Structure 1
Amino acid sequence: MTEIVHNTAKVGDLTLHYAETGAKNETLVLMLHGFPEFWYCWKDQLPVIGESYHAVAPDMRGYNLSDKPEGVKAYTIGKLIGDVIGLADHFGQEQFYLVAHDWGAAIAWAVAIGYPDRVKGLVILNGPHPYIFSELLAKNETQIAHSQYIAKFQEIGVEEEMLKNDAAWLWNWTFRRLRKSGQMSMADEAAYREAWCRPGALTAMLNYYRASPLQPATEETKGQGFGLDPEKFRVRVPTLVIWGEADHALIAENLVGLDALVEDLTIIRLPGVSHWVTHEAPETASTEITLFLNALDRRNRPEKH
């Protein structure tokens, strides 16, 4: 197993903190966490992937030890895409692999769609494709019901409620069940509460939702849709989707029609695993990610004559 090392990168005007393993390895793998996590989401995967790759898990802008620019406009998708490209540039890598979960997956989908020449392969863990998700948010009663938290997170000042009593609401909403089951430890709980309670962190984290045009339909807007053109959301890089089927926030219909939008797609379903794949199935996640990256490396390697 390789040791996790911490460092910072200057990306544009921001300083991003990151954890890394396998820095001596040639091929870069960027690992993007979602809400409300931070680099620590990948603590079990980093040592495994770092044996063969240069694995880098940043705290995304606004999270934990990374800079927290003020204002909702600092968290639009264009800026989030720019952070990923800028981080790859920081490491001097024209091409790289992307592994991502939840909000990190939303960004990773966008990077793969916008910069297919730079992404060698994409691994998504419980993160919906933006076009499919937009359709479900507009028209699917179940997904609309399960996404009401998105509307709540866009309310100004909601972070005060979420941070009371050492972020008790946020902990109970996310990981309390995993702590009780033994899938997360006391040290894990302490790490998350510390990250959430850093000055300005939770406001910045919620600004991802506030800057997004996607929100669940209301009675007035239901069925109208967002007017997105699916042709502009095609993914032309090899993609692995690992999906916990017991996800309470993202319904299984997020996988329906995905093969029509992703040219080279593999889906692995994990029965009984919820949204928090890296915590509930850490070994499976590490194994499947590594097998996929290795297979792509073999495919891309020039044949010897």
Structure 2
Amino acid sequence: MTDVTFTEHSLSTGVTLNVATAGPEDGPAIVLLHGFPESHRTWRGLVPLLADRYRLIMPDQRGFAGSDAPQDPADYVTDRIVADLFALVDSLGLDDFTLVGHDWGGAVSWAAALRGDPRLKRLVIVNAPHPLVFQRSLFEDADQRAASQYITAFRAPGFEQFPATIGWEAFFDKSFQGHVDLAAIPAHEKAEYLAEWSRPGIFNAMLNWYRGAPIVVPPPGADLPLPDYLHRPFPSVTVPTLVVWGMRDKALLPLQLDGLDALIDDLTLVRVEDAGHFLPWEKPQAVAGPLRTFLEAHTGA
């Protein structure tokens, strides 16, 4: 069993994050950012596949699991969450790191890469849409718009009471059914999810990621023009970038891969045909293998 250690980091952004780490302290640093509705445990399948060589840094992002959970949606705007990342990088003294993001962690990772911080050398995205491609698709593609209506539901006042109303176990089933085989999730893993979600204030904070985000989700059937800002030039991602995508993702459809080559200067794209949205733990080898190859090509490590 690979050893994972936990430390708390009080950041200059005003929050304390629970951070899991594994691997040699002097190994090449990889910061891994999870999404909804997870935690550092998103990466549980990758740790034994990577910790022999790499220093894995896996925070619970603000609002999740063991980290601070501000209750105001304004505390979850993208700039504040990206600031957490770089404050953690400061706290750890990193001057060269690879950033890996899944789901909302990928949204943070795209935004962080676009900042141009010289310490962020390489970017890895796992089933997380590029912000421009995603926003355009919500206006232009009926299927993606339909698949994203859960965002509107999550933003509704009072939705934080829904899991307690139907029961946390029923909410667990609703969260993952259609994405993975529920029977394949071990009982102890399910128990971990339920314990994290049901901590006081946590679920409301998790929803605040959606409430604080600027993404616009038009209602189904609405015929709306593409906003002017989506016609403007968009900056390129200049660091080498690996995108690994589970092609059975029912929330983020494969069209999210269209046009990435025009937005990324150095793109490697890996499609995983037999996995869906929760690729990091559904098929961890399908992420770890391309990640190792990518890092060897771009660092020699």
Q: TM-score, normalised by structure 2?
A: 0.93
d(CA) in 2 for partners of 1:232, 1:117: 20
**Structure 2 Cα separation of the partners of residues 6 and 244 of structure 1:** 29
One-letter amino acid matched to 2:36: F
Map 1:1-305; keep pairs closer than 5 Å.
Answer: 2-12=2-12, 13-164=14-165, 166-176=167-177, 178=180, 180-182=182-184, 184-218=185-219, 219-220=221-222, 222-225=224-227, 227-228=229-230, 231-298=233-300
Q: Deviations over 1:26-79 (max 9, x none)?
A: 422100000001000101112332221211110000100000112011000000
1:120 to partner: Cα distance: 1.1
In the alignment, structure 2 segments of 5+ residues that lack a partner are none
Q: Distance in 1 between matches of 2:228 and 2:134?
A: 10
The structural deviation recorded for 1:237 is 0.6
**What are the Cα deviations for residues 139-178 of structure 1, in whole angstroms up to 9, with x where unaligned?**
2111101100011111011011123354234312223464
Give distance in 2, aligned partners of 1:47 and 1:11.
28
Query: Cα deviation per residue 1:179-204 (whole Å; 9 max; x = unaligned)?
Result: 5342x211110001111101101110
Q: Give the number of aligned pairs.
A: 298
How far, CA to CA, are the matches of 2:162 and 2:49 in structure 1? 38
Structure 1 window deviating more from structure 2 (83-92 vs 275-284): it is: 275-284
Give the Cα–Cα distance (whole angstroms) in 2 for the partners of residues 230 and 95 of structure 1: 32
Unmatched segments (≥5 aa) in structure 1: none
Give the whole-Å Cα distance in 1 for the aligned partners of 2:155 and 2:249.
22
User: Which amino acid in 1 is paired with 2:211?
Assistant: R
Q: Deviations over 1:247-274 (max 9, x none)?
A: 0011111101000000100111111211
Q: 1:237 to 1:163 in 2, by over 3 A?
A: farther
CA distance in 1 between partners of 2:86 and 2:231 (Å): 24
Instruction: Give % identity.
Output: 34
Q: Name the Cα RMSD after superposition.
A: 1.8
Deviations along 1:105-142, one digit per CA (max 9) or x if unpaired, are 00000000113422111111100000000100122111
The one-letter code sitting in structure 1 at the alignment partner of 2:297 is: A
Residues of 2 paired with 1:296 and 1:284: CA distance? 19
Q: Distance in 2 between matches of 1:80 and 1:169?
A: 30
Q: How much has 1:10 moved relative to structure 2?
A: 1.3
* SS of residue in 2 equivalent to 1:227: helix
Do 2:133 and 2:256's aligned partners in 1 also have CA atoms closer than 8 Å? Answer: yes
Alpha-carbon distance change, 221 to 106 in structure 1, aligned in 2, over 3 angstroms: farther
Query: 2: distance between equivalents of 1:194 and 1:289?
Result: 31
Q: Is the CA contact (8 Å cut-off) linking 2:46 and 2:281 kept in structure 1?
A: no
> Counterpart of 2:50 in structure 1: which amino acid?
I
